[in-house]
Amino acid sequence: MGILTWIIFGLIAGAIAKALHPGNDPGGWIVTIIIGILGSMLGGWIGSMIFGVDVTGFNFSSFLVAIGGSVLLLAIYRMVTKK
């Protein structure tokens, strides 16, 4: 899957991750979008390497993997930046 698709998935997945994990993040929506993009890439890697899920194109399973990675990365980010 191309990097542009992961960026689009990341934008959407970041917004969904923010909706699932509401709260104040340093940087607001900008940080959430960046976490969404990186999380979707992380989810794609985890899905393909560990779970054997083939991430191919703009489909429902790829979208779920991107959301899962974004939620995971957002949770890790909040644990690291928690005061």
Hey, where are the domains in the chain? 3-81
What would the pLDDT profile of 8-39 be if each residue is shown by its tens digit?
777 888 788 778 777 776 667 777 778 888 88
Asked if residue 40 lies in contact with residue 10, where contact means CB atoms within 8 angstroms, the answer is: yes
User: 26-30, 37-41, 61-65, 73-77: which range is least confident on average?
Assistant: 26-30
pLDDT value at residue 25: 66
Helix ranges, 1-83 (H): 3-20, 29-49, 60-81
CA distance 46 to 73: 12
User: What value does the CA radius of gyration of the chain take, rounded to a whole number of Å?
Assistant: 12
Asked if residue 38 lies in contact with residue 10, where contact means CB atoms within 8 angstroms, the answer is: yes
Confidence of residue 61 (pLDDT cuts 50, 70, 90): confident
